[in-house]
Amino acid sequence: MKLEHIGIAVKSLGVSDELFAKLLGKESYKKESVEREGVVTSFYAAGESKIELLEASKEESPISKFIDKKGEGIHHLAFGVDNILQEVERLKKEGFEFISEEPKEGADNKLIVFLHPKCTNGVLVELCQEKQ
């Protein structure tokens, strides 16, 4: 597994895009809305990995809930895998719990699943596989 991206919950993409463009010395390479997740994303290349800024697009978005409880900041780590179904089976055998085992469409041409943070030391972990 490689660290594919770090998801950061932000209140305003407008404000945080300006901040991250200054910080990283480059513009976001992609903005994408993922309605089912209730988020709008903005991606930055960072070496072999990426930063994914996440703004809530509706009140019941996981990002709104997270910001209300913990404030802005690191929301999840995403690991890239070659075969997401195989990894789900492997990790289930290891005792990890998934929020949902069925891969769904994420941003940036990926299929994604999430492990529950209660089984990963309080860190929300996403697995993602490039869509064929």
Ligand X SMILES: CC[C@@H](C(=O)O)C(=O)SCCNC(=O)CCNC(=O)[C@H](O)C(C)(C)COP(=O)(O)OP(=O)(O)OC[C@H]1O[C@@H](n2cnc3c(N)ncnc32)[C@H](O)[C@@H]1OP(=O)(O)O
CB count, 10 Å around CB of 121? 7
CA atoms of 127 and 110, how far apart (whole Å): 9
For residue 40, the partner it binds in Co ion, ligand X, none, with Cβ less than 5 to 8 A by kind, is none
Q: Is 60 helix (H, G, I), strand (E, B) or coil?
A: coil
Write out the binding residues for Co ion, residues 35-64 only, by CB under 5 A.
Answer: 52
Stretch that binds ligand X, among 11-19, 21-29, 89-97, 122-130 (CB under 6 A): 122-130
- Specify the pairing of strand 73-80 against strand 39-46: unpaired
By CB under 6 A, name the binding residues for ligand X. Answer: 7, 34, 37, 39, 41, 52, 54, 62-63, 65-66, 69, 75-76, 78, 99, 106-107, 110, 112, 114, 117, 122, 124, 126
